[in-house]
């Protein structure tokens, strides 16, 4: 389907795209670029593509599909660097968790607005780097396409077909709607995880190291989320601050109501909330976005991550 795929940024997502495209015959040729010489050397050692290098403009030259897999804050600089080297028919996309900001950053530097189709594969682990990727990362996960008003229909369909072949379920929405949805489903949960793990760290000395020693399952899962790449998440919060602040406002109101229920012994209110949230958890399992296994299925996922898939 794709003659030459160029992946810029060889972390978890970029290396997984390269692995899946090669393993499943989606691209005849896969080339990769990264600003880090160490990352490039490791990617070459792993055999992730026919060519790997730090000359990003050279990497995208003659590519039919270019997917930018760098932190949100770096997307504009990458677009400015590769824009002049793109061939006229090349489709350009990304994998960022914030879409409105990426459109504003990248679009001015691309030669043809019609060939730009932003996207966000909603998949990942707490691991990063070229070794972290694996072929199955996107299987039965969602990839959200957020075309701009200028995106050409054929470019959108080509990208939809690409992500379907990679293994993802594909949905389309506007960049603005995407950012609000992801604020509640991903960004604010990560912010809460970072905050509660930070609070635990502050209490560690007070409790004589018992917070870490006696970590229960809930806290362990918070620490897994809070172990995510700090550069990526710094950029996400800085570039989606309006939606995050809006959702945080609602969360703060709901948290205050929960605090009142606990303070005044309102067991009915607590039971009703926990019943509703339990139903949401069950619905996530029912649609195949997680498993009911005691370890949430992450033992198998981590094993695949460690072996490179």
The whole-number pLDDT of residue 207 equals 62
Cα–Cα dist 100/176, whole Å: 6
The whole-number pLDDT of residue 286 equals 67
Cα–Cα dist 154/3, whole Å: 16
The whole-number pLDDT of residue 309 equals 30
pLDDT (tens digit per residue) in 171-207: 999 999 999 999 988 888 889 888 888 887 777 666 6
Cα–Cα dist 99/194, whole Å: 22
The whole-number pLDDT of residue 204 equals 67
The whole-number pLDDT of residue 185 equals 86
Q: Domain ranges for the chain, please list them.
A: 2-173, 177-307
The whole-number pLDDT of residue 288 equals 65
Q: What is the DSSP letter of 116?
A: B
Q: What is 177-307's CATH number?
A: 1.10.3660.10
Structural contact between residues 53 and 63, judged by C-beta atoms closer than 8 angstroms: no
Cα–Cα dist 154/131, whole Å: 34
The whole-number pLDDT of residue 284 equals 63
Query: Mutual orientation of helices 12-23 and 153-166 as an angle, nearest 10°?
Result: 80
The whole-number pLDDT of residue 194 equals 86
Topology (CATH) of 2-173: Rossmann fold (3.40.50)
Dihedral angle, C-alpha 66, 67, 68, 72, nearest 10 °: 140
pLDDT (tens digit, 0 to 9) for every residue of the chain, 309 residues total? 799 999 999 999 999 999 999 999 999 999 999 999 999 999 999 999 999 999 999 999 999 999 999 999 999 999 999 999 999 999 999 999 999 999 999 999 999 999 999 999 999 887 889 999 999 999 999 999 999 999 999 999 999 999 999 999 999 999 999 999 999 888 888 898 888 888 877 776 666 567 767 766 677 777 777 877 788 889 889 989 998 999 899 889 988 999 999 999 999 988 998 888 777 667 666 666 566 565 544 444 444 433 333
The whole-number pLDDT of residue 110 equals 97
Cα–Cα dist 102/106, whole Å: 6
**What burial letters (b/e) apply to 272-282, b meaning 16+ CB within 10 Å?**
eeeeeeeeeee
Cα–Cα dist 141/155, whole Å: 21
């Amino acid at each position: 389907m794709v003659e030459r795929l160029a992946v810029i940024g060889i972390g978890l997502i970029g290396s997984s795209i390269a692995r899946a495209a090669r393993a499943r015959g989606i691209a005849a040729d896969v080339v990769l670029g990264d600003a880090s010489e160490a990352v490039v050397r490791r990617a070459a050692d792993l055999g992730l593509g026919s060519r790997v290098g730090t000359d990003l403009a050279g990497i995208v030259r003659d590519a039919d599909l270019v997917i930018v897999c760098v932190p949100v804050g770096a997307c504009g600089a990458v677009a400015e660097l590769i824009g002049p080297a793109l061939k006229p028919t090349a489709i350009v996309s990304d994998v960022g968790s914030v879409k409105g900001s990426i459109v504003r950053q990248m679009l001015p530097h691309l030669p043809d607005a019609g060939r730009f189709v932003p996207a966000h594969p909603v998949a990942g682990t707490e691991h990063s780097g070229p070794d972290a990727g694996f072929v199955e990362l996107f299987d039965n996960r969602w990839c959200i396409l957020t075309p701009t008003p200028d995106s050409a229909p054929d470019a959108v369909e080509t990208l939809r077909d690409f992500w379907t072949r990679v293994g993802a379920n594909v949905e389309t929405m506007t960049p603005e709607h995407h950012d609000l949805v992801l604020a509640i489903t991903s960004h604010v949960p990560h912010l809460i995880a970072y905050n509660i793990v930070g609070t635990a760290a502050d209490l560690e000395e007070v409790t004589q190291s018992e917070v870490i020693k006696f970590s229960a399952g809930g806290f362990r899962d918070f620490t897994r989320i809070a172990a995510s790449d700090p550069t990526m998440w710094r950029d996400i919060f800085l570039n989606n601050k309006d939606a995050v602040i809006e959702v945080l406002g609602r969360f703060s109101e709901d948290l205050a109501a929960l605090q009142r229920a606990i303070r005044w012994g309102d067991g009915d209110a607590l039971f009703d909330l926990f019943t509703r949230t339990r139903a949401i958890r069950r619905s996530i399992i029912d649609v195949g976005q997680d498993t009911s296994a005691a370890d949430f299925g992450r033992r198998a996922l981590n094993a695949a991550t460690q072996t490179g898939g």
